[in-house]
Amino acid sequence: MDRPRRVHYDMDFKLTRDLEKDKEKEKDNNLDPFGYNDNDFLNPIEDVVEEEPKKISEGTASWLEDTDKLNLPSRIYNSNNTNNSNNPRSNSGEINYKEKNAFHSRENNLFERKINSTNNFRENGKDIKEELELEKMKSNRLQVELDKLRSKKEIINTKNILQFVHKISYDSLGLGKKIGQGGFSEIYESQWMGIPIAVKVIFDPNINEALMEEFNNEIEKLFILRHPYIIQLYGVTDREKKQKLAVITELAPRGSLFDYLHKNPKTKNNLSLEFKNKITKQLIHTMAYIHSRGYVHRDLKTQNILLDKNLDMKLCDFGLTKLKSELNSGSGQFAGTPCYMAPELFDRKFYDDKIDVFAFGTVVWEIYTQKIPYFNCEAMEIKQKVTKGEELICSSIVPKQIASLIEKCRRVKPTERPSFKEMESMDLF
């Protein structure tokens, strides 16, 4: 079989047709960017190939001349353009070193300006940072002064507040079943004007000034702090008859959360996650409200969380509650229940409202594990564990987000503990 021969096809017709279309587009310029004119395409292929290098070089020169009309950047140099002031070459194609040096000098000046502007930006940034720090310090000082003014305002407002609390005759209270007991008091069920009430009676025969101050403090705080999850104050007996001192509040018939967690045979180790989440959420909102009013509870524990008939919480026992600005002063400033006390209280250091957050972390651990914190541990042993940052172990039944919250709330450094306001925006349940 013969080998196929390479055949040159006549392309004159096709090329001529294409060129006619090109002519319509380029009537004013017969020379395309590469230097071919119409007659070149009508020549034999061999002639085009032979003349191609020459035509391309001439066409390129012509194309570069046209680009001068486009005002391209000065870095595109045209050797044939003698009117370009930025061109470092002379008419003869030689390098004009004077122009070249001037060009590089302009570039260097531009670069130096950029460096200077960067340095100025950094210096200004440092100045701004220092100003921000100063403003932050001023803001903190102003906040301290504002807290002091609020404290003075509250003291003035509460100085004579006891005279506005409703007085109830002790003899009119028919005490019923005993439902609880505290360090210096006993709680009884009773009826008053057809309403079921709780009567907290001070039974200590030696009522001194400190005990009387705590009694008055609880009445004041209950009168001021009104919230759906805080026990409601109804009245108080005549304080002049010290042998019959009593506080009358609404009744929480389901008892304390401590008893519900650990002593009730129906609920012991058998509480639903829904109930635990509900109480924890209610406690967060309640403590956020108390802190927003500038108060610190200072004795948060499951014994002071009561349950109403709907198993909603009612926070009680405000005998140790103080304004935030009044902390670290006065008698009983480091008082509390060891199982719930923060490290700074054990170490007798400066403290703030974050002691409530630490106690809250312990209460939440108790709710979800249904275990008594530091059971059978003495106060000194509890102190060692707490001040060393020893964690309360969460079992697998505790949700991860709750276990993380407990760990954060019980950190040794108060500044690392979240606030109740921050907890309200957390995705915990």
Q: Do 216 and 245 sit in the same domain of this protein? A: yes
> What is the tally of structural domains in the chain?
2
pLDDT for the residue numbered 371: 95
pLDDT for the residue numbered 121: 62
Within 10 A of 198 (CB to CB), how many other CB atoms are there? 23
Within 10 A of 366 (CB to CB), how many other CB atoms are there? 22
Q: Do 184 and 242 sit in the same domain of this protein? A: yes
Across residues 166-181, what is the average pLDDT?
87
Q: Do 234 and 265 sit in the same domain of this protein? A: no
pLDDT for the residue numbered 164: 84
In a domain? residue 172:
yes
Q: Do 181 and 295 sit in the same domain of this protein? A: no
User: In the predicted model, what is the mean pLDDT of the chain?
Assistant: 79
Q: Do 405 and 429 sit in the same domain of this protein? A: yes
- Over residues 182-235, the pLDDT tens digits come to 777 889 999 988 899 999 998 776 778 888 888 888 999 999 999 999 999 999
In a domain? residue 38:
no
- Over residues 273-318, the pLDDT tens digits come to 999 999 999 999 999 999 999 999 999 999 999 999 999 999 999 9
Q: Do 247 and 299 sit in the same domain of this protein? A: no
Question: Which tokens belong to 167?
Answer: 């007085």
- pTM for this one? 0.64
Domain interval for residue 201: 165-251
State the helix-helix crossing angle for 354-369 and 400-409, rounded to 10 degrees.
150
Question: 251, 279, 312 — which closes off a domain?
Answer: 251
The one-letter amino acid at 32: D
In percent, how much of the chain has pLDDT > 70? 67
CATH of residue 228: 3.30.200.20
Please check the confidence at residue 27 and state whether its pLDDT lies above 50. Answer: yes
How many residues does this entry show for the chain? Answer: 429
How far is it, in rounded angstroms, from Cα 321 to Cα 221?
7
- Over residues 365-401, the pLDDT tens digits come to 999 999 999 999 999 999 999 999 999 999 889 999 9
Q: Do 417 and 276 sit in the same domain of this protein? A: yes
Across residues 95-121, what is the average pLDDT?
66
How far is it, in rounded angstroms, from Cα 207 to Cα 204?
6
322 φ/ψ angles, rounded to the nearest 5 degrees: -135, 160
| Poorest-pLDDT segment among 59-63, 126-130, 197-201 | 59-63
